Amino acid sequence: MEAAMTFELSVEFKDRFQQALDAQDTAFIKSTLEGVNPADISALLDEFDSKECKYVFDLLPREVGARILEDLEEDVREEFLKEFSATDLASFVELMDSDDGTDILYEMSVTDRNEVIRQISDEEKASNLMELLEYDEDVAGGLMAKELIKANMNWNILQCIEEIRKQAENVEKIYSVYVVDDHDRLVGKVAVKNLIIAKSSSKVADVFDSQLISVETSTSEDEVIDIMQKYDLEAVPVVNARGKLVGRITIDDVIDVIKEIADEERQLMTGMSSDVEEDDTVWKISRARLPWLIIGMVGGLVGAQFMGFFKDEIIIVPALAFFIPLITASGGNVGIQSSSIVVQSLANPNVFADSMWKRLLKVFMVAIVNGAILSLMVFGAVILVMREQPLAATVAIALFSVVLLASFMGTITPLLLNRFGVNPALASGPFITTTNDLLGLAVYFSTAHLLYNL
């Protein structure tokens, strides 16, 4: 434990560790990593290639290796797995909880996956893994682990405690003891404290709590997250369509899913079409960024065409060109603000949320207030600096209109995308920015055309 606390991953240590790898200094590697938390070792190995990682792995205890495999970055692990034989991988998977083992198997081809399962000597573990692989990754069945503690409601207390001791050997964390009937149907849970203080002659049926929140195997991961967050659960049992207890989902698994969803939405909002990391290849990062950059470029070309339609107005009143950045930037900012709030509300649904019409009315009122304040400020600034009342009126009216329009677009776009099953986070990125730029230019020059009577 002390070694884990004093371990510090730094550039200097990485360089020293690289030297040890090059020299195959096994004594240094073993002594340095002894007692270090597997998560820290995973962070270190993320910096080296697959063959070097494999060399380190062979020097570590199997239990530590299994934990490191769980913690490795997915793209690093996918390449790393190719360095192991099916027998080696089977020995690691046997030491993992079934849900973590399933995550490893999901990253392999079907042929390799089946070969690993064939090499697992623990028949129960192999059966559990095959069952979990049948579920989609984004439902409760794909998130759950088979390892849990359960007790039959008809057991007496002494028998129950003895069974818990046996079952606990395969369960890393005990959050609850789930109670089932003779057909393995979930009927409730019982606190370990209640079992300890209960009379030995009592039965589990006398002390268990029937008030229990559970999810079905088909429940979506989003709904599982909402339930665990709403009821502040550390674990939730999973049942099949007939109510039979088949597994449990723990809070660490949910946190991993939340992080994945947050990373995906963050990348969508910034115009990334796929999951990329800083240390990915130049081509992979470029390929992820290009689609939305191309859309932005097309939007810019269309915007230039818009300005071409109004070139006569710019020739007559050149000062109009000075305020184009103000109009487009304001529209983009307002649109992103509005869409971000809507995306956040869609991610955290409220049963008592206002209807769409009430929401749009509220957004409209906020836009009026913000638009009025910004328009008055820009009107005063133009009058003071340029002393041109028609120009000040044009910019102020256009800005007010753009704020209203951008706020509406930023609100309605994610709602429509969500209605049609498209990730609403798309509306908070280049999509809404480019759209509002084009609308802003159209509104600005149309206003100038009317006020200047051009």
Q: Give ∠ CA 180-182-188 in degrees, rounded to 5.
A: 15
Contact by Cβ (8 Å): 433, 332 = yes
**Domain 282-451: top CATH class:** mainly alpha
For the chain, the first-to-last Cα distance in angstroms comes to 79
DSSP assignment letter at 168: G
Which of 166-170, 418-422, 441-445 is predicted least confidently?
418-422
C-alpha 347/C-alpha 369 separation (Å) is 27
Domain locations in the chain as residue ranges: 2-138, 149-252, 282-451
**pLDDT tier, 5 (very low <50, low <70, confident <90, very high otherwise):** very low
C-alpha 374/C-alpha 393 separation (Å) is 13
Highest mean pLDDT among 220-224, 255-259, 444-448: 220-224
Which of 145-149, 362-366, 432-436 is predicted least confidently?
432-436
DSSP-based three-state secondary structure for 411: helix
C-alpha 20/C-alpha 9 separation (Å) is 15
**What DSSP element (H or E) covers 233?**
none
What pLDDT, on a 0 to 100 scale, did the predictor assign at position 425? 65
Mean pLDDT for 365-393 is 90
pLDDT(93) > 90: yes
Place of tokens 């991988």: 89
**pLDDT tier, 200 (very low <50, low <70, confident <90, very high otherwise):** confident
Mean pLDDT for 28-50 is 88
Number of neighbours of residue 253 by Cβ within 10 angstroms: 21
C-alpha 217/C-alpha 111 separation (Å) is 26
Q: What is the mean pLDDT of the chain?
A: 84
In 244-403, which ranges are E strands?
245-250
Which of 159-168, 274-283, 370-379, 437-446 is predicted least confidently?
274-283
Residues present in the chain in total? 454
**What DSSP element (H or E) covers 453?**
none
State both tokens at 439: 């609308």
Domain 2-138 fold is MgtE N-terminal fold (1.25.60)
C-alpha 63/C-alpha 52 separation (Å) is 19
Look at strands 149-152 and 245-250 and give their pairing.
unpaired
Contact by Cβ (8 Å): 85, 77 = no
State both tokens at 121: 């000597």
Number of neighbours of residue 138 by Cβ within 10 angstroms: 14
DSSP-based three-state secondary structure for 355: coil
| Residues sharing a CB contact under 8 Å with residue 186, sequence separation 6 or more, in sequence order | 178, 179, 180, 212, 214, 237, 239, 243, 244, 245
pTM metric for this prediction: 0.67
In terms of pLDDT, which residue wins out, 123 or 263? 123
pLDDT(289) > 80: no
| Residues sharing a CB contact under 8 Å with residue 32, sequence separation 6 or more, in sequence order | 17, 20
Mean pLDDT for 363-377 is 90
DSSP assignment letter at 294: H
Contact by Cβ (8 Å): 371, 399 = yes
Look at strands 235-239 and 215-216 and give their pairing.
parallel
pLDDT tens digit sequence for 238-247: 999 999 999 9
Q: Which CATH code fits 149-252? A: 3.10.580.10
